[in-house]
């Protein structure tokens, strides 16, 4: 099992553009969460999806959106990119919501110029 996989690994975008990040969970995991991690800080929760429904949302603007597909993979979309959106975006999968162990991907490094 390759674990949680994220694509792409690195991405450079221009201010105002839109970006889509992808995540494939571990086989059998139905929950996917997204986090933003800026340098020197811990991961900050963006969204959690379980069985294709949003189960949790962090304090992020509406420019951030996500969805989960029938195969439990997920996409995170960010519109109207700002320089401050530059960060490592992490995806984590788990079997369920709540206190079950979350398995993290290697992340997508987004740079906005």
Footprint of another protein (CB under 8 A): 3-4, 33, 35, 40-45, 48, 55-56, 58, 90, 92, 97-99, 101-106
Smallest distance from another protein to CB 37, Å: 9
In terms of CB distance, is 16 or 56 closer to another protein? 56
Handedness of CA 54, 11, 91, 6 (dihedral sign): positive
**Assigned token pair, 15:** 């201010």
In terms of CB distance, is 13 or 45 closer to another protein? 45
Smallest distance from another protein to CB 44, Å: 7
Smallest distance from another protein to CB 57, Å: 8
In terms of CB distance, is 81 or 102 closer to another protein? 102
**C-beta of residue 78 within 8 angstroms of C-beta of residue 19:** yes
**Assigned token pair, 76:** 């995170």
Smallest distance from another protein to CB 30, Å: 13
Alpha carbons 47 and 60: distance in angstroms, whole number: 9
In terms of CB distance, is 14 or 101 closer to another protein? 101
Provide DSSP, 44-83: EEEEEEETTEEEEE-S--TTEEEEE-TTS-EEEEE-S--G
């Amino acid at each position: 099992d390759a674990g949680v996989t994220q694509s792409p690994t690195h991405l450079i975008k221009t201010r105002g553009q839109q970006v889509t990040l992808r995540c494939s969970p571990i086989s059998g995991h139905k929950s996917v969460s997204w986090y933003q991690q800026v340098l020197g800080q811990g991961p900050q929760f963006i969204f959690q999806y379980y069985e294709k429904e949003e189960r949790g949302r962090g304090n992020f603007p509406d420019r951030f959106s996500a969805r989960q597909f029938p195969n439990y993979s997920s996409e995170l979309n960010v519109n109207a990119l700002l320089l401050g959106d530059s960060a490592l975006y992490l995806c984590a999968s788990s079997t369920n919501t709540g206190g079950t162990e979350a398995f993290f991907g290697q992340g997508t490094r987004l740079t906005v110029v």
